[in-house]
Structure 1
Amino acid sequence: MKKYSLAVDIGASSGRLVLGSLEKGRLELQEIHRFANEIIEKNGHFCWNIEVLFEEIKTGIKKCGSLGIVPASIGIDTWAVDFVLLDKNDQLLTDAVAYRDPRTDGIMEEVTEIFMKERLYLETGIQFQKFNTIYQLYALKKQQPEIFEKAAAFLMIPDYLHFLLTGKKTNEYTNATSTQLINAFTRNWDKDIIQTLGFSMDMFQEILAPKSVIGPIKEELAAEFGFGMDVILPATHDTGSAVLAVPQLEDTIYISSGTWSLIGVENYFPICVTKALDYNFTNEGGMDYQFRFLKNIMGLWMIQEVRRNYENRYSFAELAELASAASETAAIVDVDDSRFLKPDNMVAEIQACCMETGQKAPESPGEIAKCIFTSLANSYQKAVFEIEDIFEKEFKSINVIGGGSKNELLNQLIAETTKKEVYAGPVEASAIGNLVAQLIALEEITDIKEARYIVQQSFEVKKYMNSISEKQGGVV
């Protein structure tokens, strides 16, 4: 009888529930449910609607039942850094405030006055970004101390969703590393940092690694769904899951392309040296305690906002087509400028930036899109140079995974800008990596090496080189 696992993969703009099963050495996927996710304004902050997200997860699980499919396991991955706090009665003390909220403005500078920047990097190896969990927690402690003092449990977004399923509170390793509160070498909470900043160690949970079985879903949920299943931790940081779906990592740089672009390499130890700090690279934890040495780049958030500014009149594919047809030489902006994190109007912000830097401002939707894609490729090329400088070696290729791998124009721009072979796919990388962790825990797959071989056999990948792209199926 075919055994199924269920991956819940939630990104900054949408979520999906995907069933996975092995059939003759190939991983088969079946999307069961897809839903929108967006930031809302609540209690004076930009927040995620966590209650709606959990209801969408329940809806997807019920759809499995209506299809007569009973998954053996379920696991949830989401974006990083965001969290909720619970009181001693397990009730929410905080909303799920989003990382784009301005509450952390100026906070990183305050924290690095208390705890030296170089020392913080040496211990955690994490990239400095103003929205990291460490700064969100410090902002909350400073701005709402009465709430902070009542905190009995700290749960990141997927931790909280797993808690709603099981009633058990845990902190998963890969997402916890994004907090900038995990020691890169002990792989546990850094008591020195936590206590120096006045946080309580008691609210942090035991760190569990991907493939850990939390336990069965609550009895009342099993009754509601008509079946039970185990909750197995994937790499709950969606990039951690996505990287597991890169078919081949030897001499390859990966780009996990979605709302954010995560560009880097897989490594077996953290690189906490001065050059990595100067280039602002991060050492995020991966499955089996490997490290994702990468840089966080703004990503397709900019084109998502542009589409919204045009009242969703154009699909993403149409914007890419308009960009391809745009005759003007594209202006280039620094996609990592904080002005693009959450501007009132992305189109106007891009145009203003271009004029301020002495460039002709793009006007049409196609010109705006072309500016974004060209700027992203330019940022990737810079990051590739930095990676090769740190490792003192040349990488032969780039593998683009995730939703952005469908953007043929951007893939071609990456190939032409970096002068490297670019492999695009698989698209549903985070869901695939999520399922891989579950299937290894269930002993359906032996290890990561076998999992990557299965991914090679299961999903189509496109190759881009110079001005020619050719379709590659099966083994890359």
Structure 2
Amino acid sequence: MTYHLAIDIGASSGRHILGHMENGKLCLEEVYRFENGIKEETGVLTWDIDHIVGEVIKGISKCKEIGKIPETVAIDTWGVDYVLLDENKKEILPAVAYRDSRTKDVPDEIERIISGEELYKRTGIQKQNFNTIYQLYCDKKSGKLDRAKYFLMMPDYLGFCLTGIIQNEYTNATTTGLVNVNTKSWDTEILDRLGIKKEIFGDLHLPCSEVGKLSPKIAEKVGFDCKVLHAPSHDTASAFVACPIKDDSMCISSGTWSLIGTENLSPITSKEAQDANFTNEGGIEYRYRFLKNIMGMWLFQNVRKNLDKKFTYDEMMHLAMESGVFEEIDTNAQDFVAPENMITAIRNSIKNDNLPIEVVINTIYHSLAKSYKKAVDEMEKISGKKINTVNIVGGGSKDTYLNKLTAQYTGKCVMAGPVEATAIGNLLSQIMYRDKTLTLEKAREVVKKSFNISEVM
């Protein structure tokens, strides 16, 4: 039996999922799970990279314990965040998290150097205050960048920790706002105009390619050796591999963020696309994920945390369903990015301090579904595509109420599943590396054959 290991790390947790092919189907087994999260360090929101690296290694070791040794390993994470290394390949800390407020005024500052319209034409990336381009500009102003010799997106950094090899992967790099949408390489003119030294950026490597073998130190720790590969290392890029998307369909990768969009063979960088804040992120085989970011399960996660986790997500869903009452919020409002208390932030947005908790939750549900409808309408208008089907993948696809509201508001056929889309896409990219006859189209047929994908009624 040939095993592959997907390490899928999100903002709140990470998972190690083994996969193997059996009778034409992809079989999954979760072998390890760990908590992740942003922490505050002297007033700055950061990632505990020592913790993440340690948990990645522990999860790989688990494969040895259960006697299922993977031939290959690949890592995917969220986008935009990175680690800088100095000339001795030592981390320049802290590893600041994208939800930190340091970039709040930077987009306006940069637009005095390069207009927003030109940036969008060159990179195709939507404007978000936390984009890497704005974070690196902060590092330049603070002097942190002066010591940097290497720039690594989060999965690149974890790959370096496992192999000792420094490489930059394409799909995650495109989230930086520094990759030219046409040349598919770092836009050195942008870097020069912003005064960001271009020497720290390496060549971009495609998914389904090899990073290298585990370093001797790591191989000894985990008890075996294997190859580390590049998956589509941006988690949404991996999720899109597992989404049975067609010309008349859209995909919602539903997790902490809801990434809603379609797949194109060429970018769309029109004024209409920029005004609607759509992005053209890189995907497998140089495909473009034309989508927009909507603040998804993050809203529910924080409400649940504010309630001291007294309710399960299912119980919160039923509270909302039974209330029948809701208001409307802008789910992408800046006030919801990193509030001290999400419930208070939502009540303040509606200007009602006494809004019952069940109405708060139902407001999130209806506002998310309405934002999906708006994105579908914009997509149809901008791309010229007629959308008939919306495929919801990822953990959020288990939320039956949100699925029904999505169908209700969009008026489209809504399909839910697979739940483990990101890990599935990661694993399929590893199998595509091993089996050159497995095309993307064939891989998506494997998904349909292997996992439950059901119409929302």
Above 0.5 in TM-score? yes
Matched, 1:385 2:377: yes
1:172 is matched by which residue type in structure 2? E
Could you tell me how far 1:248 is from its partner in structure 2? 3.7
Matched, 1:252 2:249: yes
Could you tell me how far 1:177 is from its partner in structure 2? 0.3
Match of 2:439 in 1: 447
Match of 1:106 in 2: 105
1:447 is matched by which residue type in structure 2? T
Matching of residues 47-446 of structure 1 within 5 Å: 47-142=46-141, 144-145=142-143, 147-327=144-324, 329-355=325-351, 363-443=355-435, 446=438
Could you tell me how far 1:393 is from its partner in structure 2? 3.2
Q: For 2:361 and 2:43, how far apart are their aligned partners in 1?
A: 32
Q: For 2:252 and 2:402, how far apart are their aligned partners in 1?
A: 12
Could you tell me how far 1:445 is from its partner in structure 2? 5.7
SS of the residue 1:149 aligns to: helix
Q: For 1:164 and 1:418, how far apart are their aligned partners in 2?
A: 44
Q: For 1:259 and 1:269, how far apart are their aligned partners in 2?
A: 27
Distance change (3 Å), C-alpha of 1:326 and 1:362: farther
Q: For 1:365 and 1:462, how far apart are their aligned partners in 2?
A: 31
Report % sequence identity: 45
Q: For 1:361 and 1:275, how far apart are their aligned partners in 2?
A: 37
1:7 is matched by which residue type in structure 2? A
1:354 is matched by which residue type in structure 2? I
Q: For 2:423 and 2:353, how far apart are their aligned partners in 1?
A: 38
Q: Which runs of 4+ in 1 moved over 6 A?
A: none
SS of the residue 1:255 aligns to: strand
Contact conserved, 2:248 with 2:385, CA < 8 A, in 1?
no
Q: For 2:284 and 2:206, how far apart are their aligned partners in 1?
A: 7
SS of the residue 1:72 aligns to: strand
Could you tell me how far 1:194 is from its partner in structure 2? 0.4
Q: For 1:112 and 1:209, how far apart are their aligned partners in 2?
A: 30
What 5-or-longer segments of structure 1 have no aligned partner? 470-476
What 5-or-longer segments of structure 2 have no aligned partner? none
SS of the residue 1:168 aligns to: coil
Q: For 1:322 and 1:402, how far apart are their aligned partners in 2?
A: 23
Could you tell me how far 1:223 is from its partner in structure 2? 1.5
Bigger drift between 245-254 and 340-349 goes to 245-254
2:350 is matched by which residue type in structure 1? C
Match of 1:474 in 2: none
SS of the residue 1:394 aligns to: coil
Q: For 1:445 and 1:354, how far apart are their aligned partners in 2?
A: 54
* TM value normalised by structure 2: 0.98
* TM value normalised by structure 1: 0.94
Contact conserved, 1:47 with 1:96, CA < 8 A, in 2?
yes
Match of 1:32 in 2: 31
Could you tell me how far 1:368 is from its partner in structure 2? 1.4
Could you tell me how far 1:44 is from its partner in structure 2? 2.9
SS of the residue 1:188 aligns to: coil
SS of the residue 2:228 aligns to: strand
What RMSD over aligned residues (CA atoms) do the two structures have, in Å?
1.1
2:254 is matched by which residue type in structure 1? S
Contact conserved, 1:84 with 1:157, CA < 8 A, in 2?
yes
Distance change (3 Å), C-alpha of 1:167 and 1:187: same
Q: For 1:233 and 1:121, how far apart are their aligned partners in 2?
A: 27
2:209 is matched by which residue type in structure 1? S
Bigger drift between 209-218 and 389-398 goes to 389-398
Q: For 2:276 and 2:160, how far apart are their aligned partners in 1?
A: 37
Q: For 2:322 and 2:355, how far apart are their aligned partners in 1?
A: 14
**1:325-362 deviation per Cα after TM superposition (whole angstroms, max 9, x unaligned):** 113x210100011111111111011111112xxxx667
Could you tell me how far 1:55 is from its partner in structure 2? 1.0
SS of the residue 1:68 aligns to: coil
Contact conserved, 1:362 with 1:371, CA < 8 A, in 2?
no
2:430 is matched by which residue type in structure 1? Q
Could you tell me how far 1:381 is from its partner in structure 2? 0.6
Q: For 1:168 and 1:62, how far apart are their aligned partners in 2?
A: 20
Q: For 1:316 and 1:92, how far apart are their aligned partners in 2?
A: 37
Question: How many residues are treated as equivalent by the alignment?
Answer: 457
**1:417-453 deviation per Cα after TM superposition (whole angstroms, max 9, x unaligned):** 0011110110011000000111100117611111000
Match of 1:5 in 2: 4
**1:198-237 deviation per Cα after TM superposition (whole angstroms, max 9, x unaligned):** 0111111111010110110101211222210000100000
